Amino acid sequence: MSTPNTTANFNGARPVIDPDDAVMLLIDHQSGLFQTVADMPMTTLRRHAAALAKMATLAKLPVITTASVPQGPNGPLIPEIHQYAPHAQYVARKGEINAWDNPDFVAAVKATGRKTLIIGGTITSVCMAFPSISAVHDGYKVFAVVDASGTYSKMAQEITLARVVQSGVVPMDTAAVASELQKTWHREDAQQWAEIYTNIFPPYQLLIESYQKAQDVANNHEQLDSQRQ
Amino acid sequence: MSTPNTTANFNGARPVIDPDDAVMLLIDHQSGLFQTVADMPMTTLRRHAAALAKMATLAKLPVITTASVPQGPNGPLIPEIHQYAPHAQYVARKGEINAWDNPDFVAAVKATGRKTLIIGGTITSVCMAFPSISAVHDGYKVFAVVDASGTYSKMAQEITLARVVQSGVVPMDTAAVASELQKTWHREDAQQWAEIYTNIFPPYQLLIESYQKAQDVANNHEQLDSQRQ
Amino acid sequence: MSTPNTTANFNGARPVIDPDDAVMLLIDHQSGLFQTVADMPMTTLRRHAAALAKMATLAKLPVITTASVPQGPNGPLIPEIHQYAPHAQYVARKGEINAWDNPDFVAAVKATGRKTLIIGGTITSVCMAFPSISAVHDGYKVFAVVDASGTYSKMAQEITLARVVQSGVVPMDTAAVASELQKTWHREDAQQWAEIYTNIFPPYQLLIESYQKAQDVANNHEQLDSQRQ
Amino acid sequence: MSTPNTTANFNGARPVIDPDDAVMLLIDHQSGLFQTVADMPMTTLRRHAAALAKMATLAKLPVITTASVPQGPNGPLIPEIHQYAPHAQYVARKGEINAWDNPDFVAAVKATGRKTLIIGGTITSVCMAFPSISAVHDGYKVFAVVDASGTYSKMAQEITLARVVQSGVVPMDTAAVASELQKTWHREDAQQWAEIYTNIFPPYQLLIESYQKAQDVANNHEQLDSQRQ
Amino acid sequence: MSTPNTTANFNGARPVIDPDDAVMLLIDHQSGLFQTVADMPMTTLRRHAAALAKMATLAKLPVITTASVPQGPNGPLIPEIHQYAPHAQYVARKGEINAWDNPDFVAAVKATGRKTLIIGGTITSVCMAFPSISAVHDGYKVFAVVDASGTYSKMAQEITLARVVQSGVVPMDTAAVASELQKTWHREDAQQWAEIYTNIFPPYQLLIESYQKAQDVANNHEQLDSQRQ
Amino acid sequence: MSTPNTTANFNGARPVIDPDDAVMLLIDHQSGLFQTVADMPMTTLRRHAAALAKMATLAKLPVITTASVPQGPNGPLIPEIHQYAPHAQYVARKGEINAWDNPDFVAAVKATGRKTLIIGGTITSVCMAFPSISAVHDGYKVFAVVDASGTYSKMAQEITLARVVQSGVVPMDTAAVASELQKTWHREDAQQWAEIYTNIFPPYQLLIESYQKAQDVANNHEQLDSQRQ
Amino acid sequence: MSTPNTTANFNGARPVIDPDDAVMLLIDHQSGLFQTVADMPMTTLRRHAAALAKMATLAKLPVITTASVPQGPNGPLIPEIHQYAPHAQYVARKGEINAWDNPDFVAAVKATGRKTLIIGGTITSVCMAFPSISAVHDGYKVFAVVDASGTYSKMAQEITLARVVQSGVVPMDTAAVASELQKTWHREDAQQWAEIYTNIFPPYQLLIESYQKAQDVANNHEQLDSQRQ
Amino acid sequence: MSTPNTTANFNGARPVIDPDDAVMLLIDHQSGLFQTVADMPMTTLRRHAAALAKMATLAKLPVITTASVPQGPNGPLIPEIHQYAPHAQYVARKGEINAWDNPDFVAAVKATGRKTLIIGGTITSVCMAFPSISAVHDGYKVFAVVDASGTYSKMAQEITLARVVQSGVVPMDTAAVASELQKTWHREDAQQWAEIYTNIFPPYQLLIESYQKAQDVANNHEQLDSQRQ
């Protein structure tokens, strides 16, 4: 086998997430910074970031959060993160822009004993990209969740995607992270995973609603309104 | 004064909503039909329709709902409507596409004794437009909430806007309806109205979060992280 | 009642289609001209034009077609028109750009004895607009189906919409025409109308497929794959 | 007949161009101002303006041109105008922004003895709109060629369209002007009109090229390359 | 002359701005509300609002400003307004959403003795539309500057445009307002007006820079770099 | 020769499809999942997926299909797949999200004895990407047909494209697959391939219609309508 | 130095075009195929393809052209190619889709004795990509001019870009090709190169026109119109 | 550790900017060339280029500028560059298109003794890409600031991004450059860096304004207008 993949630190392993080795890092998802996001609708970013928190909880991943000077214009962390991942550990920084430059943050990652990082950060160009590149250089397998991060233009997002891929980071979208963690519908919490997907692609909620109604109609032998006299 | 406005049935009155004379009609906001919406993100439509239900409740407007053959592919009403307007009256039809062709529906409107209608419907082209044109012809003042209705293309939305305006309907967006009902921030339920706006333009939620944090920092004399040693 | 609507020739009647008074005119839907269409995807136009032919047949409307020099670069009529409306009458012109300038065409319209015209034409700016304005001036009620017509730019479509509305034409989208002809789901050919809507908003086809499957699963007590051992 | 059209000065006549009564006014199509155009690709505007000049020549309409301080940053008239309408009369102004405020310009219009104006101007918001509104007020029938004019944003174009329609101006696109002047393909200069359309919707040029080749292949019994041995 | 224009309160006068009768009303251009604007880039809105302030100063128009609860999440007025129109009068409200519902505001307008209003407001749907419709009803000539106002979606802007036009308001873009106030380049402050246009269509600044350099090269007989040895 | 291409498992061979070694895998093209697709029009995806089925049949490739819990909201396979590839083998899974995690599916692939996989799947991010990455790791040459797969946003598609390319997968579009399978127009079934292209770029159908008419006109010496008396 | 560039066949040389070693291949730029192009405006493609022909002539590069069954619906080569590169050699094929599969075509390339290929082809996905990948495999340095090629969707273009880059092809835009061939403005034919750029970015034509006028005004001491009495 | 990153000349170092080794090169940001920019709003490019100049000054980087024949239609350098980086060194060329072909320019770079280049240039395709590729080949670490460069189409930008990444250049967006130079908010000039970000994502200015006002309200115990009697 010759697989010339250019991912970093996998050493021939299939470049996918191993849930047992993974930590989720949610960096600088703050109310002020969210006002600067323009590569996707802010509401989409907000749903995706919340979905990451939910799936980390379902999959029992450690979660580490941090914020960039939340006392200033950058604003507070959006509350959904800790609401949906109540076990998350918050690490305060001292002004460092690259979270990886903060020793407490790196120490918290190391303390998990895990070597696979799933990273979302706003703004993507900086708060996601800098720690991702740093962690790859320090030997971690890094999965960057580009659409659970947000930045100031579509072009900035595209440039950042090219840069992190060039550095050996594996790019992911939010749905792919969910599915690599879930792995199968043959599990007891399947319904909770289905609800996560409604956060990632909201038409899934309509599908569930319509499906349920169609089954109810069949099961209850309900008549079509248009056939009533 | 010569105001050549071309709105129908106002007879010289200012063409704005009188909350004391208004009924809200929410027509065919169904899970299946929502899958066909393409003039705006479906999630936006869903938030706007829910916002209408909430504001009708706050402003104490009668609400009448109906659905088009919800036992078939059109699917059930989205649950938010009756969740946020629990006082809403549901009128079942017998297959009529134009809700105004259903005698029970028109009777329910008449029973309110009000002559001003605020109408949202999906699909806009049909479920909003047909009752709007019919009601204008029957002497009602009609306000069509174009962005709390949804249709299959932006072009279809534009054509429908032109058609209903040509017929004397007053076009509104969801925010304008909210503000004409609310009228002032000098009221006890101001905070609840603020929450409604977060459904219409979600950045408003970020503004509230950031505002609250900025005040907390000032009130608590909290130090900036970047100034910690 | 004071309805200042600015539609032409309705004389106080509700400005909607009366199927018993309507003729459908499908003008210059030709393979060459379709290559110049840029206000919507050409495939969308082609589906909408075919849908008009189908609904005219279902609703038993007379249909008159014509083409602009189909022996030249403008190309032949797309075959769907006469395939789905086999009763349509084709009127050849002698080079007149405005179909209404051709005496045979006007005579064919008059011969139907009907005074309500549903008009689609490509390019919208010319082949739909000119006959529409002419027919309004000659006393017809005219419904212009803007999205079953196509033109060379979105801006040209918007200009034409403004122009025909200014002249008293009623603008319609394809779905609205279908629904004003169908009127109710309480009819024997309801399924055929449902199929027409799959041409206008194709997700409707997915809805029907999913609905049928969901009912089959319920009726057949089919097990979810994810629950199989 | 009751045609409530809201065009100005037609007095019941069909609101279309009468070539024998029409003058074409091409206002401020200058190299500098073209750099500010953003409601359509500048190349499209340039092709459309040139097309107006060509069709005026073919249809033997008087053409009057003018420019706004062409010695400054606004730049010179694009050369195509006078190249394709060599009979056009250029009227210099003295700084007036609204060409209709310049007595020489109005005098030149009056000197033609015609009462129907076809107006294109850049920027649309000003150089087309102001003379159009002024001329309507002075009793002219005015056709504004919105897509042979250009302005600084799509929104500005839409606002201007609404404003001029509100004032009784008839909005047109470039193709509609060509076709109302040409009227029929049954004329000796048909080929020259076909070439004008290649300027308005360039795929028409491909149609002509492909049509000619297809006929040549048939007439010359040319073999398909794929059938050669 | 029969000009069926549908503008309100002009009584047959040409529907253009008379600078000697005009007041400029700049309503709720606040830092928080600007975060909700999505019908145009916020930077564009900010430039346009500043341009209105500048041109009011140049044209010596009275300016009245107001804000909606600037102590809360809506935020403070952007500073450019009073910076560029230092003579502007600020009127505080008491929570009324429609500025026209505040007696002090209406009194300030009346005190100017002028009957023509140029109105910009954010959000367009509410803060511009409500006072515009109210003022038309009170007999004012109203010009609504749609692109110096901002709202939460393009669709909301389009709906609002249709609504205010229906009520007899004249829609304007920022450039048209500037040019109707300036009227001619033959004036001493021409250069200052040119600078205003660089705020409305920024390529104009490039034109001025390039023009100046080209003239300098000619006047100084500067050699092209590519011709240097 | 030094070709630093980064495709996996080609071992110096030209990275193109060898039809004699290829299997086509069509994964999870289901009616429900199609409602979540937003990186391209759903109708486009549906045409492309059908085109893959058709070309596999023409080129005599083995086809393997599968679905993700089609008894639930994901819905049934779209019928076109098996309609146009009646020889396709359907493999039911037991809830595994990655089809490659299902032993029956992998066994079916191995049973073909082929080592080149052409993979389309919905959603791209998951159902196409996971099996592609897995199969590359297992030594297969993998061609991923990105535009015969669909996902929930354009950004998700771009992220997935970057990820699979990084892993050594060769990205293809539907037309490229068709042409690499067809190789030449000098074959008896050329007309059937032409019809496949009308599914991939529908203007090709117009070209065929116009070409045929132009030849008919030439062969039948048909007169232009515009030359008739 | 360690430059890990992944271009093919450069063997450490800077990956730029050597005009003395380059041949230009213009493949299947045909009137019919141009109707299927949707990744850029067709007029843009047509200008870019013509620009390639012009620059090859100026830079004295050999040019080889070919077409795919031009006797059928694909249509004839656009005439600009041979018009602007009259020295180009046309090679007829026998139905092969990949031009590199035609021995005459490869022989023509070899006969030039050059090893650097500049390739444009329509459709990009096939007619540009297949020969590019084939030529790289045969040891050529290949520059693919992606925006002088056209294909059926933006997504197809992006997929193809990723595929050819993965294979070691160097992607170029039309302007970059021009500038790498021209190298300096210090040459006698500088004006002819400037005209080529007006084909690639048409605002350059406006710049030249405005520049010339500004210099004329300075040199002729021409007065501004706005300063005339 | 195995990091297969494909950046050039880093020799295992983390591929980030070392401010102490970096020079900023700002190439051909000229008023005329800016008129040809279409991959982003020109105003955005202008803000980003100015931001680069400001941050170079704050971070004390050497800056070298140059222009391409500024005496001709390309126009003068935009003044912001030298205004915000008054220490910048301007190097005149003699017509060479690739600045790296000019010996004076390369000598100026060498004279700094630094080996890390941050490059912005207009047009991106040429003026940024050519020196970047050349400098990588000469052993420099190169960071290309793609969104502080501008080119004639989004597609041209994407092609150029792919090309420079393929050559080992590290792509950056303007915000990432700022943050890698700033490194921390724990510095005395933090406020000046904040102002730089308002140039890169202008909503940041609104955040600062709203934050300041919210704190003032808290600190001054200012009452809400809506609570005033």
What's chain A's length in residues? 229
Which residue intervals of chain E bear CATH 3.40.50.850?
19-185
DSSP state of A126: I
Residue E1: what pLDDT? 36
pLDDT tens column, E162-175:
999 999 999 999 99
> Do you find a cis peptide bond into C78, omega within 30 degrees of 0?
no
Number of cross-chain residue pairs from D and G with Cβ atoms under 8 Å apart: 108
* Closest B-chain CA to H211: B214
pLDDT tens column, G118-158:
999 999 999 999 999 999 999 999 999 999 999 999 999 99
The token pair at G42 is 């067709």
Residue F1: what pLDDT? 36
The answer to whether the CB atoms of D133 and E14 lie below 8 A apart is: yes
Quickly count: other Cβ atoms within 10 Å of residue H188's Cβ. Answer: 6
Alpha carbons A30 and F204: distance in angstroms, whole number: 50
pLDDT band at F4 (very low <50, low <70, confident <90, very high): low
Question: Three-state SS for A101?
Answer: helix
Chains D and F touch (3+ CB pairs under 8 A): yes
Q: Is the pLDDT assigned to residue H74 strictly greater than 80?
A: yes
Residue F3: what pLDDT? 44
* Closest H-chain CA to E220: H71
| C-beta separation of H15 from A167 below 8 A | yes
Q: Is the pLDDT assigned to residue C110 strictly greater than 90?
A: yes
Residue C180: what pLDDT? 98
| C-beta separation of C148 from C113 below 8 A | no
User: Which of chain A's residues have a Cβ under 8 Å away from the Cβ of F101?
Assistant: 183-184
Which CA distances in Å does F213 have to D108, F220, F222, F227? 49, 10, 10, 17
Quickly count: other Cβ atoms within 10 Å of residue E184's Cβ. Answer: 17
pTM (global) more than 0.80: yes
pLDDT band at A5 (very low <50, low <70, confident <90, very high): low
Q: Across all residues in chain C, what is the average pLDDT?
A: 96
Which CA distances in Å does C15 have to B5, C5, C128, D2, E11? 19, 9, 19, 14, 30
* Closest C-chain CA to B72: C211
Alpha carbons E220 and F82: distance in angstroms, whole number: 77
pLDDT band at A2 (very low <50, low <70, confident <90, very high): very low
Residue H109: what pLDDT? 98
Beta-strand (E) ranges in chain G? 22-27, 63-67, 89-92, 116-121, 141-145, 170-172
Multiple choice CATH, C20-193, 3.40.1160.10, 3.40.50.2300, 3.40.50.2000, 3.40.50.850: 3.40.50.850
Alpha carbons G139 and G162: distance in angstroms, whole number: 20
Q: Across all residues in chain F, what is the average pLDDT?
A: 96
Active-site residue, selected from the candidate residues F24, F25, F127, F129: F127
Q: How far is CA D120 from the centre of its chain?
A: 5
User: Which of chain E's residues have a Cβ under 8 Å away from the Cβ of H41?
Assistant: 41
Q: What is the CATH number of domain B19-184?
A: 3.40.50.850
Question: Three-state SS for B24?
Answer: strand
pLDDT tens column, G37-80:
999 999 999 999 999 999 999 999 999 999 999 999 999 999 99
The answer to whether the CB atoms of G190 and E226 lie below 8 A apart is: yes
Judge whether B126 is closer than 8 Å to chain C, CB to CB: yes
pLDDT in tens, chain B (229 residues): 344 558 899 998 999 999 999 999 999 999 999 999 999 999 999 999 999 999 999 999 999 999 999 999 999 999 999 999 999 999 999 999 999 999 999 999 999 999 999 999 999 999 999 999 999 999 999 999 999 999 999 999 999 999 999 999 999 999 999 999 999 999 999 999 999 999 999 999 999 999 999 999 999 999 999 998 8
Residue H133: what pLDDT? 97
User: Which of chain G's residues have a Cβ under 8 Å away from the Cβ of E229?
Assistant: none
pLDDT tens column, A75-85:
999 999 999 99
Residue A193: what pLDDT? 98
Which residue intervals of chain A bear CATH 3.40.50.850?
19-194
| C-beta separation of E36 from B204 below 8 A | yes
Alpha carbons H68 and G190: distance in angstroms, whole number: 13
Alpha carbons E5 and E168: distance in angstroms, whole number: 9
The answer to whether the CB atoms of D224 and G32 lie below 8 A apart is: no
Quickly count: other Cβ atoms within 10 Å of residue F87's Cβ. Answer: 11
pLDDT band at H2 (very low <50, low <70, confident <90, very high): very low
How close A128 comes to chain H (CA, Å)?
Answer: 11
| C-beta separation of C8 from C168 below 8 A | yes
ipTM: 0.96
What residue type is F211 in one-letter code? Y
Residue position matching structure tokens 């250019």: A6
Q: Is the pLDDT assigned to residue H140 strictly greater than 50?
A: yes
Residue E229: what pLDDT? 81
Which residue intervals of chain B bear CATH 3.40.50.850?
19-184
Q: Please compute the mean of the pLDDT values over residues F116-143 and round it to a whole number.
A: 98
Residue position matching structure tokens 């955040």: H207
G162: part of which helix (H) or strand (E)? helix G154-166
Q: Is the pLDDT assigned to residue G226 strictly greater than 90?
A: yes
The token pair at A201 is 């692609």
Alpha carbons G131 and E139: distance in angstroms, whole number: 72
Name the residue among C25, C221, C46 with its Cα closest to residue C135: C25
Number of cross-chain residue pairs from D and E with Cβ atoms under 8 Å apart: 131
Instruction: Show which subunits contact D, needing at least 3 CB pairs below 8 angstroms.
Output: C, E, F, G
Which CA distances in Å does B104 have to B64, B116, B133, D17? 11, 18, 18, 50
D200: part of which helix (H) or strand (E)? helix D190-200
pLDDT tens column, E22-50:
999 999 999 999 999 999 999 999 999 99
Quickly count: other Cβ atoms within 10 Å of residue C44's Cβ. Answer: 23
User: Strands H63-67, H89-92: parallel, antiparallel or unpaired by DSSP?
Assistant: parallel
Alpha carbons D174 and B183: distance in angstroms, whole number: 46
pLDDT tens column, B18-70:
999 999 999 999 999 999 999 999 999 999 999 999 999 999 999 999 999 99
Alpha carbons G84 and E112: distance in angstroms, whole number: 67
| C-beta separation of H142 from H27 below 8 A | no
Q: Is the pLDDT assigned to residue E5 strictly greater than 70?
A: no
Q: How far is CA D227 from the centre of its chain?
A: 47
Q: Is the pLDDT assigned to residue F2 strictly greater than 70?
A: no
Alpha carbons A191 and E22: distance in angstroms, whole number: 63
Q: Give the distance between the most distant pair of CA atoms in chain G.
A: 74
Chains E and F touch (3+ CB pairs under 8 A): no
Catalytic site includes residue E172 = no
Judge whether H31 is closer than 8 Å to chain E, CB to CB: yes
Per the model's pLDDT, the better-predicted residue between H7 and C109 turns out to be C109
pLDDT tens column, F171-211:
999 999 999 999 999 999 999 999 999 999 999 999 999 99
**First-to-final CA distance of chain G:** 69
CATH class (in words) of the domain with range E19-185:
alpha beta
Q: Judged by CB atoms within 8 Å, which residues 181-200 of D form the interface with F? A: 184-186, 190
Chains B and H touch (3+ CB pairs under 8 A): yes
The full 3-state SS of C113-149, as one line of letters, equals: CCCEEEEEEECHHHHHHHHHHHHHHCCCEEEEEHHHC
Yes or no: domain F19-194 corresponds to CATH 3.40.50.850: yes
Residue E6: what pLDDT? 80
| C-beta separation of G14 from H137 below 8 A | yes
Q: What residues of B are annotated to the active site?
A: 127
Judge whether B161 is closer than 8 Å to chain E, CB to CB: yes
Q: Of all residues in chain C, what percent are helix, strand and coil, respectively (each to 5)?
A: 50, 15, 35
Residue F229: what pLDDT? 81
Multiple choice CATH, G19-193, 3.40.50.850, 3.20.20.210, 3.40.50.2300, 3.40.50.720: 3.40.50.850
Name the residue among B156, G161, B211, D24 with its Cα closest to residue H214: B211
Alpha carbons F50 and F44: distance in angstroms, whole number: 10
Which CA distances in Å does F134 have to A9, A166, B127, C168? 18, 22, 48, 63
E128: part of which helix (H) or strand (E)? none
| C-beta separation of D97 from E185 below 8 A | yes
Q: Is the pLDDT assigned to residue C60 strictly greater than 80?
A: yes
Name the residue among A157, A167, A160 with its Cα closest to residue H14: A167
Name the residue among G69, G76, F227 with its Cα closest to residue D211: G76
Q: Is the pLDDT assigned to residue A203 strictly greater than 80?
A: yes
Alpha carbons E133 and D207: distance in angstroms, whole number: 50
**First-to-final CA distance of chain D:** 69
The answer to whether the CB atoms of G147 and H153 lie below 8 A apart is: yes
Judge whether D12 is closer than 8 Å to chain F, CB to CB: no
Judge whether B224 is closer than 8 Å to chain A, CB to CB: yes
How close F30 comes to chain C (CA, Å)?
Answer: 9
pLDDT tens column, C217-228:
999 999 999 998
Alpha carbons F163 and F133: distance in angstroms, whole number: 9
Q: Is the pLDDT assigned to residue D2 strictly greater than 80?
A: no
Query: Could you tell me where the DSSP H helices lie in G77-126?
Result: 80-84, 103-111
A204 HSE (CA, 13 A, CB side): 19
- Apex H40 CA angle, H38 and H44, nearest 5: 125
Q: Which of B215, B225, B227 sits opposite H218 (nearest CB)?
A: B215
What residue type is F181 in one-letter code? L
The token pair at C181 is 């002809």
Active-site residue, selected from the candidate residues E22, E99, E127, E181: E127
Q: Please compute the mean of the pLDDT values over residues F4-14 and round it to a whole number.
A: 84
Q: Which of C31, C210, C225 sits opposite F92 (nearest CB)?
A: C225
Residue G107: what pLDDT? 98
Cβ-based neighbours of D46, under 8 Å, separated by 6 or more? D34, D78, D80, G202
The answer to whether the CB atoms of H176 and A35 lie below 8 A apart is: no
Q: Please compute the mean of the pLDDT values over residues H168-193 and round it to a whole number.
A: 98
User: Which of chain F's residues have a Cβ under 8 Å away from the Cβ of G11?
Assistant: 2
% of chain H residues with pLDDT over 90: 95
User: Strands E22-27, E116-121: parallel, antiparallel or unpaired by DSSP?
Assistant: parallel
Name the residue among G205, H78, D71 with its Cα closest to residue E218: D71
| C-beta separation of D127 from D100 below 8 A | no
The token pair at B196 is 């409604």
| C-beta separation of F160 from F66 below 8 A | no
